[in-house]
Amino acid sequence: MNRNQTPRVIAISSGKGGVGKTFTSVHLAARAAQTGQRVLLLDADLGLANVDIMLGITANGSIQDVLAEGKSLADILVPSGYGFDVLPGGSGFHELTSLSTDQQQVMLDEMRALGRNYDLVLIDAAAGIGDNVLYFVSAAESSLVVLTPDPTSLTDAYALIKVLSTMRDVRRFMVMINQAEAVDAQISFRRLLSVADRYLDVHLDYVGNLPPHADVRRAIQRQKLLDKVGGDLIVSHLHRTMDAILARPRDTSRSSGLQFFWEHALSEGLDAMPDSTDGAETETAG
Ligand SMILES: Nc1ncnc2c1ncn2[C@@H]1O[C@H](COP(=O)(O)OP(=O)(O)OP(=O)(O)O)[C@@H](O)[C@H]1O
Ligand SMILES: [Mg+2]
């Protein structure tokens, strides 16, 4: 553990929605917490399948309350019940670009204070290539892209990687294939890799798969971790993939800590071009 260093920041994203980002984020957080890391999971997704729902916890505030009502980020943290904390984003993240200078400073100070308390910060980003996704992913130290073997998921993951690399200079991606047996996952990864190698200047790092399994759906329905309701085989498979991600070395060229992450995300937001997603889907990986 690096108690004195800045926390590692990993953004979890996907091209297509519904592929398992939130499930992965929650279980990655829980697994890291089990090994003694101090973990913060930041819910930056504004969609329906949110972290709080998956964990069966209730958010008692959002970034909005920090900006509008003078609360501190620590006031709106929710303990997950699994040894890590959740920072609910709510619509606050939506208005990243419209923060006043004072509000930006408040958030930077808050993020700086919060960052001291964690070893690992995970960001459950929304699906797709919307501006907020791009700010968060490009500001993070590491990026994990989740996809399924579904051809549209593959194509959309490629589009996301293309936009992040060409528009935001993100060059390294961990790739996890969800809802696929190991052999099918390998095939999907190779398909993605071959088109990325051909058209993009990126490094894709395959971290593993998770098979489709009824226990995953059951865990989500019961708002519990898979560890609590799943059979041994699927749980140990999940742990293997999560451990592979956590064992990847830190990217010292991009290590930033939480306040620099936030600073970077803000400046990305302020500099963003409105047409930044044009031309994202000219080649297909399917
Ligand atoms: N390995 C799996 N086996 C079976 N079902 C799965 C698996 N992974 C995910 N699912 C199903 O996919 C659904 C979506 O998962 P999750 O909410 O994590 O996706 P997401 O990428 O966060 O979605 P969104 O883009 O809407 O935020 C889950 O409710 C679950 O039913
Ligand atoms: Mg989600």
Atom of ligand 1 nearest to the CA of 127: 25
Domain positions in the chain are 9-271
Global pTM reads 0.91
> What pLDDT shows up at residue 91?
61
The partner residues of 87 in beta bridges, in order of sequence, read 42
Distance from the alpha carbon of residue 187 to the mean position of ligand 2, in angstroms: 25
Tell me, rounded to whole angstroms, the distance of Cα 227 from its chain centroid.
Answer: 20
Q: What atom of ligand 1 comes closest to residue 178's alpha carbon?
A: 1
Residue nearest to ligand 1 atom 16, measured at CA: 20
Q: Is 179 in the pocket of ligand 1 (CB under 6 A)?
A: yes
In whole angstroms, what is the distance from residue 243 CA to residue 255 CA?
20
What secondary structure does DSSP assign to 86-136, as a single string? EEE-GGGGGGGGG--HHHHHHHHHHHHHHHTT-SEEEEEEEESS-HHHHHH
Pocket mutation for ligand 1, best pick of 150, 220, 237 (most atoms within 8 Å of C-beta):
220
For residue 162, how far is its CA from the centre of ligand 1 (angstroms)?
Answer: 23
> What confidence score (pLDDT) does residue 97 get?
63
CA of 19 to the centre of ligand 1 (A): 5
The pLDDT value given to residue 48: 56
Interval between CA 38 and ligand 2 midpoint (Å): 22
Ligand 1: atom nearest CA of 217 is 31
Could you give the CA distance from residue 227 to residue 50 in angstroms, rounded to a whole number?
19
- Is 49 close to ligand 1, i.e. is its CB under 6 Å away? yes
For the sheet with 39-44, list strands across it.
78-79, 85-88, 39-44, 120-127, 8-14, 142-147, 172-178, 203-210
Per-residue pLDDT of the chain (286 residues; tens, 9 = 90+): 444 478 999 999 999 999 999 999 999 999 999 999 999 999 887 655 588 889 999 888 888 788 888 888 899 999 999 999 999 876 656 666 677 888 878 888 888 888 889 999 999 988 888 877 888 888 899 999 999 999 999 999 999 999 999 998 999 999 999 999 999 999 999 999 999 999 999 999 999 999 999 999 999 999 999 999 999 999 999 999 999 999 999 988 887 677 777 777 777 766 654 443 443 444 555 4
Q: Is 9-271 a CATH 3.40.50.300 domain?
A: yes
Tell me if 23 CB under 6 Å of ligand 1: yes
